[in-house]
Amino acid sequence: MKRRRPRFNDLAPLLRFKRPVLNPTTRRLRAALTIEDLRALAKRTTPKAAFDYTDGAAEQELSLCRARQAFRDIELRPAVLRDVSRVDLACEVLGSRSLLPFGIAPTGFTRLMHTEGEIAGTTAAAAAGIPFTLSTMGTTSVEDVALANPHGRKWFQLYMWKDRDKSMALVERAAACGFETLMVTVDVPVAGARLRDVRNGMTIPPTLTPRTVINAIPRPGWWFNFLTTEPLTFASLESWGGTVAELLDAMFDPTVGYQDLRWLREQWKGHLVVKGVQSVDDAQRIAAEGVDAIVVSNHGGRQLDRAPVPFHLLPDVVRAVGGDVEVFLDTGIMSGADIVAAFAHGARFTLIGRAYLYGLMAGGRAGVDRAIEILSGEAARTMRLLGVSSLEELTPEHVIQFHRLAPRPL
C-alpha cells in the first residue's frame, strides 16, 4: 500500500469546529437526546428529596416499573412504500385541535422541582399548541397560570376535599380564569405509601436539616433559585408545614362517590374528564354519568402498587366506552414511540407527567421545551418508519403487545 504525506487541502474539509455554547444549561439540554437523558440531568441538578418526589412511586414501585416495561414489550410493525414526506401530529381533543398528541398532566408541588414550576410548563405548552393541566396541589395560583398563558388551552385538575365549599371555590376560580376543562382525579381516597418521601423526610416546604444541607452542596443552583425567589404559592391552600402524605390525608375525602361526580357534572359547564380509571367496569359506569373523557391511569404508580397496567388495559376500555367518551392514557410514557403505541391501541390523547418534569428540573422552561421537542421528534420519526402520515392511520396492527405477566387460571 502506497503512502503519502497528508496535504492541508485534504484535511481542510474535515476540520469543522462548532461554535462553543457558553451557557452550560443550554449545552447540557442540547446534548440530551432522550427523556432518560433529561432524567439523568435532573438527578444531578436537583436535591434528592425533590428529585425522588418526582421520580418515585408507591411502596416497591412495581406499578411504575410495569407500566414502563409494558411500552418496552411491544413490537412495531411497519408498512413500506408509503409517502411519509409529511407527518401530521395534530389531533382533535375535547372539541379543539392540539398540535401534538400529548398534553401536560397535572403535577403537584411543581416549583419544588424548579423555581419556574407551573409557569414554565404552561408557557411551554402554549408555545407548542398543547393543553396544560394545573393540579389542585400545584404551587402557582390559577390566576397566575392564566396570566402567564392567556390564550392557550388550560385544564384544571380537582381533588375533592372534605370541605365541599372549598372545592367549589377552586372550581369557580378556574372557570373565571378561562380554564376550559375540569379533570377530576378519583384514585386518591388516601395517600399512597411513597417510601422514598418517608425516608427523605420530605416536607412542604423543604426542611433544612444536616442531611439536606450536605445534599445541597453540589447543587447550589437549585437552592439559590429556591431561596431568592418568591415563596411557594399554592393553587389551593395558603400554607402547609407537614409531609406530603399528611397533607393529602388531611385534605382529601375518602367518601367521594358517584353522587359527587353527578354534582360536579351539574356545576361545571365545560368539559369534564375523570382521571384514574383502572377497570372496564368503572369506565362504563363513569361514562354513563355524562363525562366527556376518561383517563386510563394508575396515577403514575404513586397510589396502589401492583395496580393494573394502563397500556395493557387501554384496548379493553376503548372497546367498551370509546364510542361514548374520549379515552386518554397516562403513566409510563417516556418516549414518542410510547405515544404512538397508545394511539395505535385507541387512545385519543396522552398525558405526560414525569417526562416533562425531568426537563423542568434539568433546565426550567428551556428544559420543558426540550422534553416536548424530544417527544414530538420521536413520535414523528416513529410514524414515518411505520409508514403512516397521520394519527388517524394508526391501527392495532401497527403495534403488538407482549405480556410478561399473564393471569394464572384459578
Q: Is the model's pLDDT at 399 over the cut of 90?
A: yes
Q: Are 336 and 381 in contact (CB under 8 A)?
A: yes
314's CB contacts (< 8 A; 6+ apart) are 296, 327, 329, 342, 345, 346, 347
Residue 296 parent element (H or E): strand 293-296
pLDDT at 134: 96
Percent of the chain exceeding pLDDT 90 equals 67
Please give the residue that has the higher pLDDT: either 354 or 409.
354
Catalytic residue list = 299
pLDDT tens, 80-123? 999 999 999 999 999 999 999 999 999 998 998 999 999 999 99
Q: What is the distance between the alpha carbons of residues 227 and 60, in angstroms, rounded to a whole number?
A: 33
pLDDT at 207: 63
Q: Are 88 and 393 in contact (CB under 8 A)?
A: no
Q: Residue 113's closest CA among 48, 201, 57, 35?
A: 48
9-38 mean pLDDT: 84
Q: Residue 154's closest CA among 138, 178, 137?
A: 178
192-198 mean pLDDT: 88
pLDDT tens, 233-286? 666 555 555 566 666 666 777 888 999 899 899 989 999 999 999 999 999 999
Cis (ω within 30 of 0) for the bond into 150? no
pLDDT at 252: 73
What confidence tier does 204 reach under pLDDT thresholds 50, 70, 90?
low
**CATH fold for domain 32-72+91-376:** TIM Barrel (3.20.20)
Which residue, chain included where needed, has cell 418521601? Answer: 197
pLDDT at 197: 85
Q: What is the distance between the alpha carbons of residues 336 and 92, in angstroms, rounded to a whole number?
A: 18
- Domain ranges for the chain, please list them: 32-72+91-376
Q: Are 279 and 308 in contact (CB under 8 A)?
A: yes
Q: What are the C-alpha distances in Å from 1 to residues 4, 39, 296, 319? A: 10, 49, 65, 68
pLDDT at 300: 96
Q: Residue 363's closest CA among 79, 30, 70?
A: 30
